[in-house]
Structure 1
Amino acid sequence: MTGPILLIVDYNLSRIDEVRHLRDHARRRHGATVILVRADPTEADHAIADEVIDLDPLRDDFAQIGEKLLADRRDRIKAGIVFSDNAVRSGAELLHRLGVPVDSPPLAEGAFSKYRYRLDESRVADLLAAQRIMVPAFTEIASLDQLHAFAHDHPEGFVIKPAAEGNNRGVVVVRPGDDLTAAFAEVLPYLEGGVICEELIPYRREYSFDGLGSLTFLTEKISARGRYPVEIAQVLPARLDPHERATLQRAGQLANWLVGQCDGPFHNEIKLSDDGLHAAIVEPNRRPAGMKIWALARWVYGIDLHHRWVDTAFGTAPHTERLVPGCAAATVMLGVAADRSFAPDDVPPGADPFGDAVRATTEQLGLADTDLTVTEFSWLSPRRRDLHALARDNADFAAQGCVVLRGDRADIRTVVHTLREAWSHALDRAVAPPAPARKAR
């Protein structure tokens, strides 16, 4: 086999369709063979790549072994993509060893370890403070006594979270008066990989600084309030005043510098003060955003960032100065109205609770049928799971759906809240048991 090779290093299983999209473009546009590297590959992995190498990116010797396994094709490997948090450092090191252009491997650890990122922030705290970027106090903990000590120093509240974990898993907000023993019990499963406490960031609004290389956009995040600050929606375009936009762009770029991002993708989560002048980084990421944000960007801005990522890796991406929105869009997380065991098979064939919810939202907000359209819908898992009505992390949702809003009859944020409520009713109706038959008289 001849021709160029695109090396894709790891991905999260929920993003398999994105890997397929990357592969198809690499084949079509660049005539490339695609090699995928990930641990314990499945049949699905072999179906989306020309070759799959079984190698865990969390191994200490990942880059050395990967270089040996690929040595015979080194001259053909022309481009590489790192597509998971677990591989952000080791994957970048592997690409660097293979002579493939990639963002800084040494600084990439800050985009994987929340603890490492806070350490990097603390080293340049004066610089960040001069840019009105808050650096939260933090510490790594391994015992209940250490948790009590941090709580004593931060009586106004704080956050406990795994040092390296995605999808809001294990994140617990501790408020004054909360049971510290119960909070510690919730993070016990993550102790081996490290757990940190962070000062509570006092800003209510949250956004993300997203993009690829020098191409950037801002996404508005809608989160649940209370003990579990789970993302319930992502919205494009973010609704911001010019000074707020400047603050977020400044914070997002500073985070990119700290984690070594230059040409690749990024998704930096940022909180913004009410006056729009101050910000704090929740966490940086050197990968595309989740929750279909790049799909939202395709509908809103008319650009396929996955295609551009492949083209950037091959050094052929065209110049694009800025993105101009043509509509609004949102990814909405869809849960259950009450704690219950749920599987998609509970929904009868032919039932369409999401379509019903969108139609109910359209009617309630006085929209035309063409104003609000469904672009994607998917169940988060085909398996039966016990779901909480009060979601504790993103795995507590049953499904997610994407909608596009055209025109100015409603705000996309109003659509999000109306749609989530309509979904709860529509799902309950779809899975309700049939009424008992009447007895014949």
Structure 2
Amino acid sequence: MTRPILLIVDYNLSRIDEVRHLRDHAHEQHGAAVVLIRADPTEADRSIADEVIDLDPLRDDFAEMGEKLLGDRRERIRAGIVFSDNAVRSGAELLERLGVRVDSPRLAEGAFSKYRYRLAEAHVSELLEAQRVMVPAFAEIASLGQLRAFAREHPGGFVVKPVAEGNNRGVVVVRPGDDLMAAFAEVLPYLEGGVICEELIPYRREYSFDGLGSLEFVTEKLSADGRYPVEIAQVLPARIEEHERATLERAGRQANWLVGQCDGPFHNEIKLSDDGLRAAVVEPNRRPGGMRIWSLAHWVYGIDLHHHWIDTAFGAGTEVERLVPGCSAATVMLGVGTDRSFSPAGVTAGADPLGDAVRATAGRFGLADGELTVADFSWLSPERRDLHAVARDNADFAAQGCVVLRGDRTDIRTVVHTLREAWLDALDRALLLPTPVRKGR
């Protein structure tokens, strides 16, 4: 083989279709072979790459070992991308060793470790505060006593969460009067990897500053209220005023600087004050946003960011004009109505609960045929799982759906809430047999 090589360093299994999309573009546009590095690869991994190397990006010697394993193909490796949080630092180190253009490996740890990012903020807190970016107080904890001490210092409430977990896993909001022992018990499984407490950010609205290189857009995040602030939807375009956009962009770019992002992708989660003048970074990410955010951008703005990412990695990226929305779209998390054991196998063959819920929602708002459509749907897992009616993290849902709204007769945020309710009824009708509510829940 003499083809140039695109190296993809790791990915999360839920994003296998995106890796396949990246591979196809590398094949067709750049004539490149795709080499994937991943720990304990499966046949599914081998089906989306020309070659798969078994190597864990969390190994201390990952970059050194990767360089040795790829040494005989070094001259053919023309481009590389890092596609997981676990690999954000070690993957960048490997690409730098191989002489491939990549964003800073030295600053990348802040895009993996929430503790490291807060440390980076603390070092430049005066600068950030001058830009009206809040720097929350924080502390790493390893015991119930340390959690209680943080609670005494922040009686208005705080968040306790793992240092390096995604999908809102283990994130617990602790408010005045809450049981501290129960909160500590919920993060106990994450202690080995690190747990931090953070001052509660007093802003209600949340967005993400998304993009690739200098190409950027703002996504609106809808979250559940209460103890488990899980994401229930991502919406494009965000409904914000120009001064609010300026605040979010300012905070988002500063997060990029702190984690070393320059040419690559980013997804920085940011909270915004009611007056739109202040912001606080929840966490930065040097990867595309989850919940199909880049797919939303494709439907709304007509740009394929995955293709643009590969082109940029090969040094062939083109300038893109300012993004102008042609419609609105949302990725919606779809749950269950009661605590229950659930499997997609329990749904009647041929049933279309999301389609039924979309039709019911369109009827509720008097929308014409084609104004509200399903763009994508997937069950989160084919396995039987115990799901909570009040989701505790993003894995605690049954399915995920994407919808596109054309026209301006209603707002997609209102549509999202109505659709999630309609889904519960549609799912119940589609189930072959009701599953009894589990006792003791």
The TM-score with structure 1 as length reference comes to 0.98
Structure 2 distance, partners of 1:419, 1:327, is 18
Structure 2 distance, partners of 1:322, 1:80, is 26
Structure 1 distance, partners of 2:36, 2:430, is 40
Deviation at 1:430, TM superposition (A): 1.0
CA distances 1:305-333 after superposition (whole Å, capped 9, x unpaired): 00000000000011113111000000000
Deviation at 1:429, TM superposition (A): 1.1
Please state if 1:318 is matched with 2:318.
Answer: yes
Residue 274 of structure 1: aligned partner = 274
Structure 2 distance, partners of 1:49, 1:287, is 19
Residue 385 of structure 1: aligned partner = 385
Residue 428 of structure 2: aligned partner = 428
One-letter amino acid of the counterpart of residue 232, structure 2: I
Please state if 1:162 is matched with 2:165.
Answer: no
Deviation at 1:433, TM superposition (A): 3.0
Mind listing any 5+ residue stretches in structure 2 that lack a counterpart? 435-441
Structure 1 distance, partners of 2:385, 2:88, is 30
Please state if 1:206 is matched with 2:206.
Answer: yes
Specify the SS of the correspondent of 1:99: coil
Deviation at 1:432, TM superposition (A): 5.5
Structure 1 distance, partners of 2:369, 2:396, is 31
Please state if 1:174 is matched with 2:150.
Answer: no
Q: Note the 1:36-435 alignment, pairs <5 A.
A: 36-431=36-431, 433=433
Mind listing any 5+ residue stretches in structure 1 that lack a counterpart? 435-441
Structure 2 distance, partners of 1:371, 1:355, is 13
- Work out whether residues 346 and 432 of structure 2, in 8 Å CA contact, stay in contact via their aligned partners in 1: no
One-letter amino acid of the counterpart of residue 158, structure 2: F
Structure 1 distance, partners of 2:432, 2:278, is 48
Deviation at 1:84, TM superposition (A): 0.0
- Work out whether residues 243 and 276 of structure 2, in 8 Å CA contact, stay in contact via their aligned partners in 1: yes
Residue 29 of structure 1: aligned partner = 29
Q: List 4+ stretches of structure 1 deviating above 3 A.
A: none
Deviation at 1:165, TM superposition (A): 0.6
Residue 437 of structure 1: aligned partner = none
The TM-score with structure 2 as length reference comes to 0.98
CA distances 1:265-306 after superposition (whole Å, capped 9, x unpaired): 000000000000000000000000000000000000000000
Report the RMSD for the aligned CA atoms in angstroms: 0.6
Residue 437 of structure 2: aligned partner = none
Specify the SS of the correspondent of 1:238: coil
Deviation at 1:431, TM superposition (A): 1.1
Aligned length: 434
One-letter amino acid of the counterpart of residue 128, structure 2: L
Task: Judge which range, 425-434 or 175-184, deviates more.
Answer: 425-434
One-letter amino acid of the counterpart of residue 18, structure 1: E
One-letter amino acid of the counterpart of residue 388, structure 1: H
Task: Judge which range, 197-206 or 315-324, deviates more.
Answer: 315-324
Percent identity between the two aligned chains: 81
Task: Judge which range, 389-398 or 317-326, deviates more.
Answer: 317-326
Specify the SS of the correspondent of 2:176: coil
Specify the SS of the correspondent of 1:389: coil
Specify the SS of the correspondent of 2:145: helix
Deviation at 1:146, TM superposition (A): 0.2
Deviation at 1:105, TM superposition (A): 0.2
